[in-house]
Structure 1
Amino acid sequence: MNIGLGLPVDDPGQLLSWARRADAGPFTTLGLLDRLVHDNPEPLITLAALAGTTHRIRVQTEVLLAPLHRTALLAKQTATLDRLSGGRFTLGIGIGGRDDDYVATGVDVHRRGRRLDEQMAVLRRLWAGEPYGDGVGPIGPAPATPGGPEVLFGGFTPAAITRAARWGDGFLGAAPSPHFTDRLFRQAEQAWRDAGRTSAPRLVAQLNVAIGPDAVVAEARKNVARYYAFLGDASHFADGLLGDPKEIKAAVSAYADLGADEVILYCWSPDTDQVDRFADTLF
């Protein structure tokens, strides 16, 4: 099973160092979250920079809030990133759960699911080199990956899982526990069968973690709580972050038993030494 790293977002200036150290190690993916009304770096711009400073490791949005974007421009941006990275880009995609991101862009939050379905139909056509339509030609460049970059859908609802089976290559389960993730993974597999797809979905799990001195773990928990503060009480997410190497190994093993193809260890402290600590713990 592959192991990736989800990048911390509170100090964008550290991300190039994170990327280089991860690229030199055993990790398979660098993931980066997306929010608008937050102080995280914009993911497509940032991943382009990280792809340029690495040679091997994949780069992935986790997840890009596609309904906030203009579809034609998004097709061009993602194809360009896939091309520049040599096919190392995975588009993790979803609709998000924050109203303020939609208010800031003037997009109707109540239509976000339907908008994403409409966007995926256009993205797939444009990545395949077809014209945009209505007298408008193709929008290039052609992605390095035939038919477009790998697409993983994230979410927790039946609609998200159905959408993944219709449009995606796999499912990203960011559930807070292996038990919850197991249910989502099995639903994704059933949705693939219901859609008549003969291949199995690629299944990716996500785990909130930090390894280091107590101050590093405490900082990570504070960052998690700040990110999820919109829920009111974010203590469940902060307390759920794993900071003990034995607990992290056990959780990764549990996800492997569920059939995960990859686990993304989402790191919430900018301390770059965590890269080596995770490598020492899991490899």
Structure 2
Amino acid sequence: MEPDLDAATLKAWAHLVDSGPFSSLCWGERMAFDNPESLTLLGAMAAWTGRVQLVTTVLIPQLHDPVMLAKALATADMLSGGRLTVGLGVGGRHEDYRAAGADPATQTMREMAERVAVMRRVWSGEKVTESTLPVGPPPVQAGGPKLLVGTMGPKTTRHAAGWADGLAGTTLDLDAGKQSELFDVAREAWQQAGKMAPHLATSFWFAIGDGDEPRAQVHRHLQRYMNWIPAEIVDAMAPTTGWAGTAEQLHAVLKRFADIGTDEVHLIPTSSDIDQVRQVADVVRDFD
């Protein structure tokens, strides 16, 4: 989501993340913004990496035809050798719906679940139209890639238990206690649905370094990314949103989340400076 990206920058990031010790390479979706288109980027990442899991955090199904989206994701699963995990969410911006020609009235969990059901049918090889052959290619992962729900609250978590394999959450204030409560809701909801324990992931914005610059970096990023929110509200949020600090402080934060049973933390960069990735890699190695 940083400005002025080019192929060389994206490829360098992909190669560095793929070289370890990271478990996943993630990116999200926006329409009325200058980020790369998510599905095109997915194809590039499948080609530029060979080890790391590729995770969409998150795609918005209501911005796509569900059959076309299922075909695109099955293709990406094939190209990546089964390394795809799909995070899905309803999104938070009507402008993105309008830019894609989608109806903002479909911005509901029910609508998303209905589109997931269509995609599951495609991935199972079922014919969804009167075609000679079903829509392919078949995904490498039987039944399709693992699906995560983008969520910050218990209602969304419970609603998704019927179709999702886990959470792709976000924490603004890094409150591990509140995150633990949400994880407990997920564990209970998945158990009641008769499913295996959910994959529990959360995410937060980060900037690593010394002094005041990391917090200023997060602030600049939020001002740009959260451009649909009045600037004075973003400015009020910025001092306590996301994480900024030293490597030692990041290690302590990740340890807190590990202690509550978090399977993955998706770190959201607030700079295109690849040295940020290198510094985080040195921290993450302790959690292998």
TM-score (norm 1): 0.90
CA offsets 1:63-103 (integer angstroms, 9 cap, x no match): 11111111110000000001100011111100011111112
1:11 deviates by 3.7
After TM superposition, give the deviation of residue 135 of structure 1 in Å: 5.3
User: Which shifted more, 175-184 or 97-106?
Assistant: 175-184
Residues 36-74 of structure 1: CA deviation (Å, up to 9, x unaligned): 111111111112112211111111111111111111100
Q: CA deviation at 1:216?
A: 6.1
SS in 2 for 1:38: coil
Other-structure match for 2:26: 31
Instruction: Name the structure 1 match of 2:106.
Output: 111
Contact 1:51–1:59 (8 Å) recurs in 2:
yes
**Deviation sequence 1:189-234 (CA, Å, 0-9, x none):** 111122122x100000112112246656533431122212323212
1:238 — aligned with what?
238
Tell me the CA shift for residue 237 of structure 1.
Answer: 4.8
Deviates more, 1:146-155 or 1:161-170: 161-170
Q: Which amino acid is 2:242 matched to? A: L
Q: Which of 184, 205, 210 in structure 2 is aligned with 1:208?
A: 205
Gaps in structure 1 of 5+ consecutive residues: 1-7
Q: CA deviation at 1:109?
A: 1.9
Task: Give the share of equivalent positions with the same residue, in percent.
Answer: 38
1:247 corresponds to 2:249 = yes
Residues 126-135 or 137-146, more deviating: 126-135
What SS is found at the alignment partner of 1:171? Answer: strand
> 1:11-53: per-residue Cα shift (whole Å, max 9, x none)?
4321111111111121111110111111111111112112211
Q: Residues 19-58 of structure 1: matches in 2 within 5 Å?
A: 19-58=14-53
Q: CA deviation at 1:161?
A: 1.1
TM-score scaled by length of structure 2: 0.89
C-alpha distance in 1 between matches for 2:261 and 2:181: 12
Specify the alignment match of 1:142 in structure 2.
Answer: 138
Aligned to 1:5: none
CA distance in 2: counterparts of 1:266 and 1:234, whole angstroms: 17
2:122, 2:105 → 1: CA distance? 26
Q: By how many angstroms is 1:238 displaced?
A: 3.0
Distance 1:21 1:11 in 2: 19
Answer 1 or 2: higher relative contact order, Cα 8 Å, separation at least 6.
Answer: 1
Give the match's secondary structure for 1:60: strand
Q: Is the 8 A contact 2:46 2:54 kept in 1?
A: yes
- Matched position secondary structure for 1:234: helix
Residues 82-231 of structure 1: matches in 2 within 5 Å? 82-113=77-108, 114-134=110-130, 137-176=133-172, 177=174, 178-197=176-195, 199-212=196-209, 218-231=216-229
Q: Which residue of 2 aligns with 1:263?
A: 265
Q: 1:43 is aligned with what amino acid?
A: S
221 and 66 in structure 1: CA distance in 2 versus 1, 3 angstrom threshold: same
Determine if contact 2:28/2:56 at 8 Å carries over to the other structure.
Answer: yes
- Describe the superposition over 1:244-268 as per-residue Cα deviations: whole angstroms up to 9, x where unpaired: 1233212211111111111111111
Unaligned runs of 5+ in 2: none
Deviation of 1:170 after TM superposition, in Å, equals 0.7
**Aligned equivalents of 1:84, 1:206: Cα separation in 2:** 26
Greater displacement, 248-257 / 156-165: 156-165
Letter in 2 for 1:180: K
Partner-residue secondary structure (3-state), 2:167: strand
C-alpha distance in structure 2 between counterparts of 1:212 and 1:269, whole Å: 12
Q: Does structure 1 retain, via aligned residues, the 8 Å contact 2:218–2:244?
A: no
CA contact (8 A) 2:166 2:199 kept: yes
Cα distance, 1:163 vs. partner? 3.5
Query: What is the count of residue pairs matched by the alignment?
Result: 275
Q: Which amino acid in structure 2 is aligned with residue 275 of structure 1?
A: V
The DSSP-based 3-state class of the residue aligned with 2:204 is: strand
> Is contact 1:23-1:55 (8 Å) kept?
yes
Equivalent in 50, 58, 61 of residue 63 of structure 1: 58
Note closer, same or farther for the CA distance 1:130–1:9 as it changes in structure 2 (3 Å cut). Answer: farther
